[in-house]
Amino acid sequence: MDYAKAQALPDRVLTLLEEPEAHSDDEPVEIERNGKPVIVYGIKHKEERNPKVTSLNRMLDIGRARHSARTKKRNYK
């Protein structure tokens, strides 16, 4: 939620994201990245949720992950 607020999303979107029903239950999935197994969390589809909300959650997760990776790189220099 902090990341969403930092992106200056409209209040109506933040209100939506506060609703537990708008979120998925993340499921750990093991994938291979650069030849190494990595655990990632997949967004599960929910019948009662609009597909656009699922897309929004994915977009925010990707943005948050990229931001986190950039921040870690800067902190280790």
Q: Where are the domains of the chain?
A: 2-75
Answering whether pTM is above 0.75, one says no
pLDDT at residue number 2: 78
Q: Output the pLDDT for position 55.
A: 82
Across the chain, which has 77 residues, the per-10-residue mean pLDDT values are 81 84 68 83 74 81 78 61
- Tokens 């190494």 — which residue? 36
CA proximity to 2, closest of 63, 53, 54, 70 = 63
The whole-number pLDDT of residue 18 equals 82
Residue 9's alpha-carbon distances to 13, 72, 73, in angstroms, are 6, 24, 26
- What pLDDT score does 39 carry? 77
- Residue 73's pLDDT is what? 63
Q: Can you name the residues that pair with 30 across neighbouring β-strands? A: 39
Q: Radius of gyration (Cα) for the chain, nearest Å?
A: 14
